[in-house]
């Protein structure tokens, strides 16, 4: 990972309370897992931003190194890595995600 890639990733995560590195964007997800994440966040009605890793091969690889997580999508809330699609689904179903998001947006 280049210093430039790391700086870009950190900037995106810091500037947005809820940020998703995904295939496609929140208006047009390009895979089922990314779509799951977008749908959950839309149901919660919370503001979030996305980065299309398909449009930037360097960030696509760098984000996997940055998080030590091999798959996309990757969700960050309040600067912290939360996980991927499966983890977000589990957190949503247990009610934990709603709490995490409320705390993040209140801070």
pLDDT tens by residue, 11-26? 999 999 999 999 999 9
pLDDT tens by residue, 20-58? 999 999 999 999 999 999 999 999 999 999 999 999 999
Give the chain's domain count. 1
Question: For residue 51, what are its two tokens?
Answer: 């980065």
Predicted local distance difference test score (pLDDT) of residue 107: 83
- Share the mean pLDDT of the chain: 95
Domain range for 34 is 3-106
H helix or E strand, kind and range, residue 19: strand 18-22
CATH number of the CATH domain containing 51: 3.40.30.10
pTM over 0.85: yes
The contacts of residue 61 (CB under 8 Å, 6+ apart) are 1
């Amino acid at each position: 990972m280049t210093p430039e890639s790391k700086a870009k990733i950190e900037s995106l995560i810091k500037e947005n309370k809820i940020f998703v590195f995904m295939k496609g964007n929140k208006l047009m997800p390009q895979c089922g897992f990314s779509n799951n994440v977008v749908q959950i966040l839309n149901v919660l009605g919370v503001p979030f931003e996305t980065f299309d890793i398909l449009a930037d091969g360097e960030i696509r690889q760098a984000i996997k190194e940055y998080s030590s997580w091999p798959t996309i999508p990757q969700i960050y809330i309040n600067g912290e890595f939360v996980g991927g699609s499966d983890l977000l689904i589990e957190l949503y179903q247990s009610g934990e995600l709603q709490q995490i998001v409320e705390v993040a947006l209140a801070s």
